[in-house]
Homo-oligomer: A and B are copies of this chain.
Amino acid sequence: MIPMTANDLPLTREAILDAAEQVLRRFGPDKTSVVDIAKVLKVSHGTLYRHFASKASIREAVTERWLHQSITIPLAAIGDEAGGSAAAQLRLWMETLIGLKRSFSTQDAEMFSMYAAVTLIEAEMIAQHVERLIEQVGRLIDKGMQNGEFKAADSAQLARALFLATSRFHHPAHAAEWLLEGNAADFEAVWTLLMRGMLSS
């Protein structure tokens, strides 16, 4: 029999993550305990430990789901929907990534700081998230190589290089620097240099 929550909903992974995200947002990662999450679900903490080995693994799963929903999915739509040149789509993709990160860093500060902390600890999960994003960049670069906008090259390697070379503008460790005067001009200077290396003409 699947354990039920007090609301008679089955205790699914999603239900646990919903409760955990709610509690983590309210109390912050340091003050949240597995017992707090169990209380919201009206189950014992022993029941939760059958789904997640530790508070750290719950926190990792909440962050992973948040990254997927709030970053990976919105960005994936750009390749499919946006018109214009591949270079314009690539620029839109990068500006959207930067805009999302920047707005989360101020508007969704609890999740953002949890994500920034997890970035230093859960290297494997973050590497996979970054891999998904780089694949999206690779598809946009492929488009531009096929239509002749971009010089031919190893698009997967180029996508990774482009992502890493713009770390200053989207990696959470740089959040404080996004608020510095000149940040927009700095991005422009970096993007200009990167496009000089990629554009055919």
Contacts and interface: CB of A to CB of B under 8 A. Distances in A.
Interface of A: 120, 123, 127, 151, 157-158, 160-162, 164-168, 171, 173-174, 176, 180, 186, 189-190, 192-198
A165 B163 CA distance: 10
Contacts of A180: 123, 127
B174 A167 contact: yes
A180 B122 CA distance: 12
A127 B196 CA distance: 26
A56 to B, nearest CB: 16
A174 B119 CA distance: 10
A135 to B, nearest CB: 15
Contacts of A197: 193-198
Contacts of A171: 168, 173-174
A161 to B, nearest CB: 4
A190 to B, nearest CB: 5
